[in-house]
Amino acid sequence: MQNINNHIIVTGGAGFIGSHVVEYLLKNDYRVTVVDNYDSFYPKETKQKNLSAVINHPNLIFHELDIVDANAIDLHLTETYQAIIHLAAKAGVRPSIENPIAYQQTNVAGTQNLLEFARKKSIQQFVFASSSSVYGINKNIPWRESDGLLNPISPYASTKISGELLGHVYSHLYGIRFIGLRFFTVFGPRQRPDLAIHAFSKKILNDETIPFFGDGNTQRDYTFIDDIVQGIIGALNYEKTNYEIINLGNSQAVSLAELVSTLETVFEKKAIINKLPEQPGDVPITFSDISKAKNLINYLPTTSLKDGVIRFKEWLTNQ
């Protein structure tokens, strides 16, 4: 997709991943409309700060609206658009267990509204933020998109599977190119404050205890934000087939104990550990096979966990 004169909608554009995507698009001469409702999951001021460097850019339009409100979408988004990058969602496995109905409304009904909007406006490219959580407890390591029947163990994960399936329907019926990207534990500057690397780093700096769930052997495939943005742009430009589901990870499983050790090294401080039982909804491991991403969208992550944490520390300590 050539960038000149292309107008891209980015939902959730004031969030962690979305703000990085918006900055990339603006730097590469796209027109960008951001849709964000400043969900109260974390402070509005944090999200406003995420976009502060570009909010006055001449090629940026910002709409504060909720994707659950289909009428508001139709009322405010009146221009011609070439693609939607749909990152808006209620996030988090554990909160979804406490409030599953809200997750269903935003993540499923909201996605349906945007797909219906794409149909009505003849928008041909739809990039969807899915999640590694859709795999549930999957013994086929590393996880491949072809693994078949998925077994989600949280409401959040089930909503992401629903989004992928809705995309298939709209791709089949209306010819919308739908690319679902399964993100694996994204981190880096502006990371959501509830996520492990951000939360643990602050606690280390403040000499507070770190909640250490389980025995420290749970593993996550930590993926740096710049690599994720590269994958999203690859999906935006993909044109060969009309429906694909693609893993975006780092293809390295890192244990919780190893993560804490890396943080201690980078921050040059010992962590104070508070051992707790395993959390419901958590999976023991996430581990991506990214061969499909490499083949289809030339995806090649380049940032190690340690290098990414160093860059995160630079951002955090300058806040």
Residue 168 CB coordination number (10 Å) = 14
d(CA 176, CA 76): 22
Residue 217 in domain: no
Which of 251, 183, 187 has its CA nearest to residue 225? 187
pLDDT in tens, the chain (319 residues): 656 579 999 999 999 999 999 999 999 999 999 999 999 888 999 999 999 999 999 999 999 999 999 999 999 999 999 999 999 999 988 899 999 999 999 999 999 999 999 999 999 999 999 999 999 888 889 999 998 767 888 999 999 999 999 999 999 999 999 999 999 999 999 999 989 999 999 999 999 999 888 788 889 999 999 999 999 999 999 999 999 999 999 999 999 999 999 999 999 999 999 888 877 767 788 999 999 999 999 999 999 999 999 999 999 999 8
On whether the CB atoms of residues 74 and 138 are closer than 8 A, the answer is: no
69 three-state secondary structure = coil
Check residue 274 and give its pLDDT. Answer: 87
One-letter identity of residue 237? N
Measured CA distances, 191 to 59, 93, 111, 239 (Å): 25, 16, 23, 30
Check residue 281 and give its pLDDT. Answer: 64
On whether the CB atoms of residues 231 and 288 are closer than 8 A, the answer is: no
The number of folded domains in the chain is: 1
CATH number of the domain to which 246 belongs: 3.40.50.720
Check residue 296 and give its pLDDT. Answer: 98
Residues 301, 305, 308: CA angle, nearest 5 degrees = 80
Residue 95 in domain: yes
The residues, ordered by sequence, that sit 6+ positions from 229 with a Cβ below 8 Å of its Cβ are 17, 20, 21, 24
Secondary structure element (H or E) that encloses residue 9, with its range = strand 7-11
On whether the CB atoms of residues 229 and 20 are closer than 8 A, the answer is: yes
d(CA 3, CA 312): 29
Which of 287, 305, 303 has its CA nearest to residue 247? 287
Residue 28 in domain: yes
Residue 239 in domain: yes
Query: Which residues span the domain enclosing 107?
Result: 7-187+225-251+283-302
156 is catalytic: yes
pLDDT tens digits along 88-129: 999 988 899 999 999 999 999 999 999 999 999 999 999 999
Measured CA distances, 240 to 115, 212, 293, 295 (Å): 20, 44, 13, 12
Check residue 226 and give its pLDDT. Answer: 98
On whether the CB atoms of residues 304 and 259 are closer than 8 A, the answer is: no
Residue 90 in domain: yes
Residue 209 in domain: no
d(CA 25, CA 20): 9
Quick one: tokens of 186?
A: 């994204």
Quick one: tokens of 232?
A: 């999203």
Residue 40 in domain: yes
Task: Tell me which of 81, 135, 156, 222 is the catalytic residue.
Answer: 156
One-letter identity of residue 162? S
Quick one: tokens of 263?
A: 């943080």
Check residue 12 and give its pLDDT. Answer: 97
Residue 233 in domain: yes
